[in-house]
Amino acid sequence: MIQVLSSAWALLLGMGLLMIGNGLQGTILGVRGEIEGFSTLQMSFVMSAYFVGFLGGSRLAPEMIRRVGHVRVFAALASFISAVMIMYPLLTNEIAWILGRVVIGFCFSGVYVTAESWLNNAANNENRGQALSLYMIVQMTGIISAQGLVLIGDPSGYETFVIASILVSVSFAPILLSISPTPAFDTTKPMTLRELMGKSPLGCVGMFLLGGVFSAQFGMASVYGARAGLSLAEISTFVAAFYVGAVLLQYPLGWFSDRMDRRFLIMLVAITGAAGAVCGMLFGVSFPILLVSAFVIGGMSNPLYSMLIAHTNDFLEHEDMAAASGGLVFINGMGAISGPLITGWLMGDKVLGPPGFFLIIAALLAMTAVYAMYRMTQRAAIPVDETGTMSPIYPTSSPVAFEVAQEVAIEAAEEAAEAEQDTQNVA
């Protein structure tokens, strides 16, 4: 871990500041939308637009980097992010916000691709897993920290948006000034969706449904809080609870994932998350129950992302794992685009109102659990000692981090195979 910090501290510091800025603008925008009188359906289009841009950026950013290099891509995308964050309070118009969110999503995706390729270059086979884990902790810590900054300025003014813009601008200084040399960049040609679905139906279906769950959390939690009449401090605490749960429960659930039938654990985790959402829907008038509900949902859904990746890997050859990452990211992105739209419609005054936020999360997680249960009847479980290791990864990451996680899984599997072969030779 010390070696990882010494070689990549600037990158991790920059990414931490970047995640604070991204988490801050996501929360404050939902609050500002309520102040400006936007309907939940309008805000759902605004929030969904981020994932449209993010998915586009994840597919186009690698080509941009190959053509002009990491540094130029970083600088260009940073300027756009800062400009859009300043634009939000100046142009309080639904169309302007939607276009701004598409640009923000595209730029952040490109920035993540660039930074994560640098992280992979800074790590080696011995510490790549530690580097990935540390990076994921920095990501979640940044988003959690951002919720405290929500209280600094008046959401009806421009101060908070300026703070987010400054954080993003400053985040690039340690990255661009301290990290060298620029790494070579390459990505793996993705596996076709038909092939991927044939290899792991649960992985594909689960990733699509989970995309809707995560985007509802990331995009609509602050909108829910504003609609439910929570104070600004309560909204920031509510949003933070999702990510606190994600950080605290990722590793314990990962430990269980490596020691039992993953499909059974996926089913249990999804059921627990759905139960947490139902509690929030039925007893949301109590703020402590809201916090517990958010903690459970975040603590179940985020590790579920890593479990589905590991489950898919269990049915792939080593050489196919990196190729599968592009397809899984695309499937998750399509689910993420639809999540806020459905959530916004359900939260409308003529439908369910604020409880609709929890209903869609409960429904998507329940469908995941049911499908996992069904898949358990269709194919025998792989023996636990033949499954790979689950690497922690969050839905906020780009396909590059996904491929790094796949590399970690491949290396762990190869080491295990070598150790087994050495044992047999000794015997």
Residue 187: its pLDDT value, please?
A: 55
Asked if 340 and 200 count as a contact pair (C-beta separation under 8 A), the reply is no
Summary mean pLDDT of the chain = 81
Is the pLDDT at 297 greater than 90? The verdict is yes
Q: What is the CATH number of the domain that holds 84?
A: 1.20.1250.20
Percent of the chain with pLDDT over 70: 79
SS (H, E, C) the chain: CHHHHHHHHHHHHHHHHHHHHHHHHHHHHHHHHHHCCCCHHHHHHHHHHHHHHHHHHHHHHHHHHHHHCHHHHHHHHHHHHHHHHHHHHHCCCHHHHHHHHHHHHHHHHHHHHHHHHHHHHHCCCCCHHHHHHHHHHHHHHHHHHHHHHCCCCCCCCCHHHHHHHHHHHHHHHHHHHHCCCCCCCCCCCCCCHHHHHHHCHHHHHHHHHHHHHHHHHHHHHHHHHHHCCCCHHHHHHHHHHHHHHHHHHHHHHHHHHCCCCHHHHHHHHHHHHHHHHHHHHHHCCCHHHHHHHHHHHHHHHHHHHHHHHHHHHCCCCHHHHHHHHHHHHHHHHHHHHHHHHHHHHHCCCCCCCCCHHHHHHHHHHHHHHHHHHHHHCCCCCCCHHHCCCCCCCCCCCCHHHHHHHHHHHHHHHHHHHHHHHHHHHHC
pTM summary value: 0.84
Least confident among 14-28, 82-96, 105-119, 275-289: 105-119
- 201, 214, 342, 347 from 44: Cα distances, Å: 29, 14, 8, 10
Asked if 139 and 19 count as a contact pair (C-beta separation under 8 A), the reply is yes
Model confidence band, residue 385 (pLDDT cutoffs 50, 70, 90): low
Least confident among 97-101, 246-250, 287-291, 420-424: 420-424
Residue 255: its pLDDT value, please?
A: 78
Residue 294: its pLDDT value, please?
A: 93
Residue 237: its pLDDT value, please?
A: 92
Is the pLDDT at 387 greater than 70? The verdict is no
The torsion defined by the Cα of 169, 173, 176 and 177, in degrees rounded to 10, comes to 160
Closest CA to 138 of 161, 119, 163: 119
Average pLDDT over residues 231-260: 86
Q: How many domains does the chain have?
A: 1
Range of the domain at 24: 2-426
Average pLDDT over residues 10-38: 85
Is the pLDDT at 423 greater than 70? The verdict is no
